[in-house]
Amino acid sequence: MRLKVLLPAEILVDEPVEKIIAEAENGSFCLLPRHIDFVAALVPGILQFVGAGGREEFLAVDEGILVKCAEQVLVSVRNGIRGASLGDLRLTVEQHFKKLDEQQKKHRATMARLEVGFVRQFIQLEENSHG
């Protein structure tokens, strides 16, 4: 099979694999090359695959869609992080989410400043129209 994991801005994985284990809303499942075509809505979690030579790899993925059609398995998710081991992946995910949290805090502060500026201008317009 060929696994291709697509993020909005990049292709995270594009390589031949022997086995894929993923998690859908109704539980985890395993795909092997001779399985029938399949579509699943993925939940946030770990997507595991066995690559060439039996090498196990792990992806932390956000919710998304998995489609198996013949020998192609396409996975489309908003966020995904690749790791060689679960331990490495855990550390990478923690760092990634800390970075996202900091970015979200900055965005919230910027939005608050914009809202305050908007309210001030609205008040000035009200005062100027009455005065």
Note the pTM of the prediction, 2 decimals.
0.69
For residue range 62-116, list pLDDT tens digits in order: 889 999 999 999 999 988 888 777 777 776 667 766 666 666 677 677 777 888 7
* pLDDT higher than 70, residue 36: yes
Q: Give the chain's domains with CATH numbers.
A: 2-84 (2.60.15.10)
Q: What is the pLDDT of residue 124?
A: 82
Q: What is the pLDDT of residue 122?
A: 73
Q: What is the pLDDT of residue 71?
A: 94
64 burial type by CB count under 10 A (0-12 exposed, 13-18 middle, 19+ buried): buried
